[in-house]
C-alpha cells in the first residue's frame, strides 16, 4: 500500500522530464497554434471560434510565468519582484512600441492620418489600457485593436508577482487563493451577464472578467509543483489517445457556443474551456514525442512559436497591407498571404528587436546563491571524527 502511495505521489517520467527542462517541449508549437487561431479568427475564416487563440495564450502565459517563479523560488529561496518586472519590460515593451510606431506610419501612408478617436485608441494601447477602452466604447477595427489581450496580460503582471511572493513558501494557501479567485470571477461574470445584462464587449475585453483564464494556468503550475493530483496527471498521460478526450470536449464546447450563443459562452464556456486547455497542456507536454502530438515539436512549429509574439502584433497590419497593396479580397488567397506576411514581420521583429533585449534579459535571470547553512560552514576534515584509534599507518603519518 505504501509503495502505491509513493508511486502515486511522483509524476511519470515523461511528464517530469519534460517539466524539468529549461525549455519545456511542445509549448512553442502551442504558441504557433494559438497565433494561427487568432489570425484565422480575425480574417473571419468560417468555423474558427472567437477568442480560442487568445484563451490558449492566457492559460499558457499564466502557467509559464508561475512555473518560472516557482523554479526561481526553489533555486534561490526567494523571488525578485524587481527582476521579474525588468524581464517583462525587456520582453514585451520594445517590440510592442516599435509595432505601434510602424502601425501608425503604415496607416498614415496607406489611408490617412488617424482621426482623434483612433489616436485615443493608440494612446490607450500605449498605456496598456485599450481593453477597457474597447469594453466601454463602440469601436471600429484597426491594426492595434487586438492588443487588448496584451493589455489584459500586462494588468495581470502588475498584480500576480506580489501575490505570489506573499505565498510562495505557502503553496497550499496559494492554491486556496487561486481556487477561490477563479470561482469568484466566474460567479461575478455570470451575475454581470444574467442579472445586470452587461454588454458583450465588457465581458470579452475587461481584465476583471478574463483574469480567471490566466489564473487557471497559474493554478496548474502550482498543482504540478506541489504534486497535487499526481495520479490524475499520470493517468491522463499514460496513453496518447487519452488526450483526444479534452480535445473532443473542446470541439463540442465550441459547437455548443455557436449554437447557444453568448449565454453559454459567458457562463459554461468561459469556465470550462480554459480548464480543458490546461488539461490538454499537460498532455501535450508529456506526449510531445508521440505521433499524435509530435508535430508540435517540428522545426517549423517551433520557429513559428518563437516568432509568435511578432506575428500576433503585426497580423492585422499584414491583413491591411495584403488588401491595399495586392488587392487580395478573396479569403482563400488572403489567409496564406497574411500568414506569410505575419511570419515575415515576426521574423524581422524577433531578429532586429526582440533578440537583443532577450539577451539583456538573461542578466536578470541569474541564480541567487542560498544563504550558507551551519553544515556548509563546517570545515572539511581529511578523516572522519571518531573515537576509535587511528590505523597504525595513519598514526605514524600523523606523528
Residue 169 to residue 307: CA distance in whole angstroms: 35
HSE-up of residue 37 (Cα within 13 Å, Cβ side): 17
Residue 80 confidence (pLDDT): 94
Cα–Cα nearest to 96, from 127, 63, 117: 127
CB 296 within 8 A of CB 80: no
Residue 366 confidence (pLDDT): 53
Buried b (16+ CB within 10 A) or exposed e, 98-128: bbbebbbebbeeeeeebeeebeebbebbeeb
Residue 304 to residue 171: CA distance in whole angstroms: 34
The reply to whether 196 falls in a domain is yes
CB 306 within 8 A of CB 350: yes
Domain that holds residue 236: 8-369
What percent of the chain is helix, strand and coil (3-state, nearest 5)?
75, 0, 25
**Three-class SS state of 175:** helix
The reply to whether 265 falls in a domain is yes
Residue 228 to residue 180: CA distance in whole angstroms: 17
Output the CA–CA distances (angstroms, integers) from residue 53 to 31, 99, 119, 146, in the order listed: 9, 20, 27, 12
CB 27 within 8 A of CB 60: yes
- The tens place of each residue's pLDDT in the chain, 399 residues long, gives 433 433 456 899 999 999 999 899 999 999 999 999 999 999 999 888 889 999 999 999 999 999 999 999 999 999 999 999 999 999 999 999 999 999 999 988 877 777 888 888 999 999 999 999 999 988 777 889 999 999 999 999 999 999 999 999 999 999 999 999 999 999 999 999 999 999 999 999 999 999 999 999 999 999 999 999 999 999 999 999 999 999 999 999 999 999 999 999 999 999 999 999 999 999 999 999 999 999 999 999 999 999 999 999 999 999 999 998 888 888 889 999 999 999 999 999 999 999 999 998 888 875 555 455 444 444 444 434 444 454 554 444 434
Residue 36 to residue 300: CA distance in whole angstroms: 13
The reply to whether 71 falls in a domain is yes
- Total domains present in the chain: 1
Q: Which residue in this structure is represented by grid cell 449554437?
A: 259
The reply to whether 198 falls in a domain is yes
The reply to whether 31 falls in a domain is yes
Residue 350 to residue 206: CA distance in whole angstroms: 29
The reported pTM is 0.89
The reply to whether 166 falls in a domain is yes
Output the CA–CA distances (angstroms, integers) from residue 185 to 190, 207, 229, 270, 345, in the order listed: 9, 10, 23, 10, 36
DSSP string, 285-331: HHTTTSTTTGGGGSHHHHHHHHTHHHHHHHHHHHHHHHHHHH---SH
Residue 290 to residue 160: CA distance in whole angstroms: 34
The reply to whether 338 falls in a domain is yes
In the structure grid, which three cell numbers stand for residue 319, read together? 491583413
The reply to whether 247 falls in a domain is yes
Amino acid at each position: 500500500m505504501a509503495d502505491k502511495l509513493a508511486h502515486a505521489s511522483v509524476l511519470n517520467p515523461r511528464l517530469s522530464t519534460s517539466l524539468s527542462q529549461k525549455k519545456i517541449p511542445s509549448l512553442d508549437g502551442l504558441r504557433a497554434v494559438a497565433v494561427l487561431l487568432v489570425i484565422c479568427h480575425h480574417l473571419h475564416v468560417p468555423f474558427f471560434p472567437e477568442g480560442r487563440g487568445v484563451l490558449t495564450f492566457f492559460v499558457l502565459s499564466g502557467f509559464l510565468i508561475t512555473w518560472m517563479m516557482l523554479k526561481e523560488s526553489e533555486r534561490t529561496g526567494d523571488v525578485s519582484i524587481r527582476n521579474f518586472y525588468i524581464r517583462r519590460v525587456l520582453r514585451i515593451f520594445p517590440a510592442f512600441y516599435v509595432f505601434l510606431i510602424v502601425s501608425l506610419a503604415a496607416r498614415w501612408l496607406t489611408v490617412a492620418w488617424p482621426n482623434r478617436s483612433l489616436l485615443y485608441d493608440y494612446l490607450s494601447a500605449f498605456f496598456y489600457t485599450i481593453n477597457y477602452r474597447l469594453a466601454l466604447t463602440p469601436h471600429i477595427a484597426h491594426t492595434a485593436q487586438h492588443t487588448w489581450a496584451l493589455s489584459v496580460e500586462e494588468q495581470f503582471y502588475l498584480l500576480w508577482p506580489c501575490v505570489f511572493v506573499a505565498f510562495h513558501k505557502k503553496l497550499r494557501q496559494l492554491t486556496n487563493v487561486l481556487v477561490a479567485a477563479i470561482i469568484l470571477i466566474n460567479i461575478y461574470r455570470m451575475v454581470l451577464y444574467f442579472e445586470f445584462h452587461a454588454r458583450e464587449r465588457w465581458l470579452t475585453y475587461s481584465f476583471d472578467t478574463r483574469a480567471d483564464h490566466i489564473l487557471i494556468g497559474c493554478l496548474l503550475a502550482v498543482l504540478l509543483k506541489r504534486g497535487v493530483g499526481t495520479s490524475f496527471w499520470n493517468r491522463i498521460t499514460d496513453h496518447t489517445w487519452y488526450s483526444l478526450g479534452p480535445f473532443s470536449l473542446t470541439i463540442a464546447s465550441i459547437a455548443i457556443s455557436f449554437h447557444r450563443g453568448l449565454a453559454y459562452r459567458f457562463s459554461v464556456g468561459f469556465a470550462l474551456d480554459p480548464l480543458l486547455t490546461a488539461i490538454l497542456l499537460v498532455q501535450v507536454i508529456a506526449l510531445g514525442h508521440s505521433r499524435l502530438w509530435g508535430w508540435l515539436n517540428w522545426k517549423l512549429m517551433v520557429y513559428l512559436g518563437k516568432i509568435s509574439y511578432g506575428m500576433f502584433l503585426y497580423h492585422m497590419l499584414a491583413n491591411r497591407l495584403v488588401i491595399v497593396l495586392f488587392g487580395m479580397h478573396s479569403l482563400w488567397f488572403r489567409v496564406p498571404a497574411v500568414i506569410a506576411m505575419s511570419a515575415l514581420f515576426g521574423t524581422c521583429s524577433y531578429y532586429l528587436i526582440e533578440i537583443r533585449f532577450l539577451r539583456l534579459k538573461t542578466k536578470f535571470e541569474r541564480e541567487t546563491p542560498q544563504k550558507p547553512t551551519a553544515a556548509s560552514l563546517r570545515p572539511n576534515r581529511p578523516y572522519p571524527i571518531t573515537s576509535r584509534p587511528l590505523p597504525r599507518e595513519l598514526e605514524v603519518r600523523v606523528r
